[in-house]
A and B are shown apart, each in its own frame.
Chain A
Amino acid sequence: MQPESAMTPGLEVTVLVSVGRHPLTGRARRADQDARGVELARSLADAQVRLLHAGMRDESSEAALRGYLGMGFTELSLLEQSEGADVLPALAEALDAASPHLVITGERAERGEGSGLLPYLLAERLGWPLVSGLAAVESVEDGVATLLQALPRGQRRRLKVRLPVIVTVDDAAPAPRQSAYGPARRGAFEATAGPVSADDEWASWHVQPARPRPKRLKIVKAASARDRFKAAAAKAEGGSGQVLTDVTPTQGAEAILTLLREEDVLR
């Protein structure tokens, strides 16, 4: 984190938080990336941070959301939704009304559709720019934020963007602080009834636990220690990929279908 004194006073930040799901036990918890988003917001000087959640309110989700309150908040705004509702319209309306300078959220939810599309759809609807995969917010001056975007293999890209902006954080953002029981227990939910729009598409889907697919083995043919190290440190790059340029949508779709069949995703 860099010069925090350079922040504009009264920077309004909204963090979109969701109910997470532990990968091993499936228990509700604060979602990891969203918690990183909250941590990022907490580290901004002179920022007024507001937590916003749209979703169903029940015992397990409440316990999970209290995990965010335990990071040092007194309240969390809750847009109550029915089960399986599409939260996009409700969030868009709430953000439009509150018009914060900065909206922070994780890349994708840990339960539900988890497509990672929500930030993009929100940005489209609000007409705001979106920056994905943020590692840090370096400064905010005169309505312009200097952001550090995380790229693969530890690379960073510095971006300047005019506020308001939606940013998403991934695992490159600082790890979230411990959630303390006391503030989590005392924190209040400020519930507002937003518009509820049923998601018919989602309702017709059949959801089942994913079976872990075997990992593709990396075959390393290295002669020297240096090569072996490079191979170990390198990201898996599919060598057999093909780049299609100037093809019709039908050809593209067919190529994708062929690949999916080869990989046994479609049968």
Chain B
Amino acid sequence: MLDILLPILLFSALALAAVGAVRRIRLWRQGRPSPVPVLRGLAAVPRRYLVDLHHVVARDKVMSNTHVATAGGFVAAMGLAIVVHGLGLGSGWVSGVLGWLLLAASATMFAGSLFVARRRRDPPARLSKGPWMRLPKSLMAFSLGIFVVTLPAVGVLPADAGGWLVALVLAAVVTWGLAELVFGMTWGGPMKHAFAGALHLAFHRRPERFSTKKGSGGNRSTGLKALDLEDDQAPLGVETPSDFTWNQLLGFDACVQCGRCEAVCPAFAAGQPLNPKKLIQDMVVGMAGGSDAHYAGSPYPSPERGDQPVGEHHGTPHGPIVAPASTKDGKALVDAETLWSCTTCRACVEECPMMIEHVDAIVDMRRHLTLEEGATPGKGAEVIDNLIVTDNPGGFDPGGRLNWAADLELPLMADVERAEVLLWLGDGVFDMRNQRTLRALVKVLRAAGVDFAVLGNEERDSGDVARRLGDEATFQSLARRNIATLAQYRFDCVVTCDPHSFHVLKNEYGAFYPEGQASDYPVWHHSTFINQLIEAGRLRLAPGQAARVTYHDPCYLGRYNGEYEAPRAVLRALGVELVEMQRSGYRSRCCGGGGGAPVTDIPGKQRIPDMRMGDVRETQAEQVVVGCPQCTAMFEGVVPPAGDEEVAVKDIAEMVAAALDTTPVSTSSTPRDASTAQATEEVMS
């Protein structure tokens, strides 16, 4: 009897899956067009899955092994089951071998599903519950069912063992397994992640993120995509779910709700109304139409209510994501505060095993709010206005960019026209704390005899804040004008102590060069450049600062640009004792200063910099070394808990400047300006 039932079950499951696949693809195709290389993309899936995706999954060894056993077992078992039970292929010893292989595959899968079940027994808060709780049972049903029905095929059991009742029970078990694992894949169950995930890998919007056979693995692609402002028909950002490109929608659908993003999100931890996982699920709800009532993971935190209850928000593919201001206290798919809570720290993207691009989506939606609705919250509108009329977010006189360095006699590009290094100062020139960092950096560069020059009043804000606040128009205007200024001068590289300017100059300006021109200079963060100077022996350091320090990785230097090593190498050269925070390197927790978050200032239960300084205190370091003006400002704004000593916040340039060996050397080839050194030291103390 099973001989007849099994092929019917298998093929009807496959047919239903095909129907579901067409429906699902239709949902994705509601999005805007985005051309992809279809065949090349599909061909790249195995490598992208086995190498790049697995690289992320393998950060959790147990889970990665579980997934290998379960998924690998399932794919093998399904394939073999079609051959053995579906088509009845193979006879004699061939069928015997295939049968034993199928037994092995389903047994492996069963072993994997035991681990899945174990994890589901007391699941961590980040995991979604609901339908996901039945998944281990479904996995077991499939693997056990297939195992048992295969036993007669290898001759362990007689074909009619147990009679029709057992056969019916087995058929029911196999049906359950097939329902969840085969057509559940395309009809929207937990297994949807496998179908959507594979295609998401194939048609990813940032194919540069994946390694290639030849190239080095894990290329980065972190610059935001430009809006086409020339085309006045193109939407300015994303208003409705269908304004996303189709492969972004596909990416949202690939989410496996593992909640790794939620676990690392600084805004979620601070109790601000953002949970990256919920946000992606909300986009799926919007794409399919409906309400978020079926969401079974952690909701958005709410400073007033503890948690935002689910079921209050709803959306449609062509309805607004954020309720327009005219419908007061009306709700749509997500609240604006959710989108403005993000610090664009990219921790979620770094951690996502499905390679979903949360930050892109959030900035896309912010673009609509800023460019179409004029609804940048908090001080955001003021900052943007300042950027438009004064080219800096603080509204300072752009003619006073070098006032802080009146005594340093910095060489101006306008005078020298060419230099080894163009020192990009950033908007920190208006901030008294950052001026200390800049003075230290100038001191270090002079000590190493670096030929550098600054743009002075010709420099403008890099456009980072404007872009993260969604004001693409102001960003592009600033970018184009900065590029025109840079094009006038000759220099070998750009060095900056601001990772935000660093990222924008390095990764985002490329798209705005006039036709026929390209950025032909490397951009270095000052920590990288100082490390190069040390390695080249151009800096004489006097080690012996017996300080216990910890290093905070700025998001825009670390996750955005992969520079984790140079600052640590510099600290090692200084001979200080470096203790790492629990979350450092690619898992570094944001200071709360990115993405315009200090400007929009969405309330939460606690502040992000307070949490990060808590991490610093745990290491019992005397100092925290940073490499970003935003981080410095955020950390220095933290009031230590009563009774605790204040932890000093030092930029890495200040550390190096303080360790410079100033004893005269007869062979020194760099004439040093005594007055400059004195002025710098005065500030350092």
What is the interface of chain A, defined by CB distance below 8 A to chain B? 22, 24-25, 27, 29, 70-72, 177-183, 185-186
Closest residue of chain A to B375 (Cβ to Cβ) is A178
- Inter-subunit contact A24/B232 (CB<8 Å): no
- Inter-subunit contact A178/B398 (CB<8 Å): no
Q: In the complex the two chains form, what is the Cα distance from A29 to B390 in whole Å?
A: 11
Residues of A with C-beta under 8 A to B388: 29
Apart from the given pairs A177-B374, A181-B236, 12 other A-B contacts in the complex at a CB distance below 8 Å: A24-B395, A24-B398, A25-B397, A27-B389, A29-B388, A72-B374, A178-B384, A179-B374, A180-B373, A180-B375, A182-B371, A185-B232
B160 at the interface (CB under 8 A from A): no
Residues of A with C-beta under 8 A to B398: 24-25
With contact pairs A29-B388, A70-B374 given, residues A24 and B397 touching in the complex (Cβ less than 8 Å): yes
State the Cβ distance, B231 to closest chain A Cβ, in Å. 11
Would you list which residues of chain B between 164 and 216 have a CB under 8 Å from chain A?
none
Q: In the complex the two chains form, what is the Cα distance from A25 to B376 in whole Å?
A: 24
Residues of A with C-beta under 8 A to B385: 178
For A180, give its contact among B232, B374, B389, B397 (CB under 8 Å). Answer: B374
The 8 A-B pairs at the shortest CB distance, nearest first, are namely A180-B374, A178-B381, A178-B374, A182-B372, A22-B389, A181-B371, A181-B473, A24-B397
Residues 218-232 of chain B: 1 if any A CB is under 8 Å from the residue's CB, otherwise 0?
000000000000001
Closest residue of chain A to B380 (Cβ to Cβ) is A178
Residues of B with C-beta under 8 A to A183: 372, 374
Residues of B with C-beta under 8 A to A25: 389-390, 397-398
A-B contact count, CB below 8 Å?
A: 48
Chain A at the B interface: SS class: loop
Residues of B with C-beta under 8 A to A27: 389
Would you list which residues of chain B between 427 and 483 have a CB under 8 Å from chain A?
471, 473
Q: In the complex the two chains form, what is the Cα distance from A181 to B373 in whole Å?
A: 9
Closest residue of chain A to B384 (Cβ to Cβ) is A178
Closest residue of chain A to B368 (Cβ to Cβ) is A182
Residues of B with C-beta under 8 A to A177: 374, 381
State the Cβ distance, B600 to closest chain A Cβ, in Å. 12
Q: In the complex the two chains form, what is the Cα distance from A29 to B384 in whole Å?
A: 13
Would you list which residues of chain B between 347 and 404 have a CB under 8 Å from chain A?
370-376, 380-381, 384-385, 388-390, 395-398
Residues of A with C-beta under 8 A to B384: 178
12 cross-chain CB contacts under 8 A? A22-B389, A24-B390, A24-B395, A24-B397, A25-B390, A25-B398, A178-B370, A178-B374, A178-B381, A180-B374, A182-B236, A183-B372
State the Cβ distance, B441 to closest chain A Cβ, in Å. 27
Residues of B with C-beta under 8 A to A24: 389-390, 395-398
Q: In the complex the two chains form, what is the Cα distance from A177 to B384 in whole Å?
A: 12
Q: In the complex the two chains form, what is the Cα distance from A185 to B235 in whole Å?
A: 12
Closest residue of chain B to A177 (Cβ to Cβ) is B374
State the Cβ distance, A185 to closest chain B Cβ, in Å. 7
Closest residue of chain A to B374 (Cβ to Cβ) is A180
Q: In the complex the two chains form, what is the Cα distance from A71 to B385 in whole Å?
A: 13
State the Cβ distance, A4 to closest chain B Cβ, in Å. 13
Q: In the complex the two chains form, what is the Cα distance from A72 to B232 in whole Å?
A: 17
For A29, give its contact among B389, B396, B397, B471 (CB under 8 Å). Answer: B389
Q: In the complex the two chains form, what is the Cα distance from A20 to B397 in whole Å?
A: 17
Q: In the complex the two chains form, what is the Cα distance from A181 to B370 in whole Å?
A: 8
State the Cβ distance, A14 to closest chain B Cβ, in Å. 22
Closest residue of chain B to A185 (Cβ to Cβ) is B232
Residues of B with C-beta under 8 A to A179: 374
Closest residue of chain A to B372 (Cβ to Cβ) is A182
Q: In the complex the two chains form, what is the Cα distance from A180 to B397 in whole Å?
A: 24
- Inter-subunit contact B389/A181 (CB<8 Å): no
With contact pairs A178-B381, A181-B471, A181-B473 given, residues A22 and B374 touching in the complex (Cβ less than 8 Å): no
Residues of B with C-beta under 8 A to A29: 388-389
State the Cβ distance, A43 to closest chain B Cβ, in Å. 13
Closest residue of chain B to A24 (Cβ to Cβ) is B397
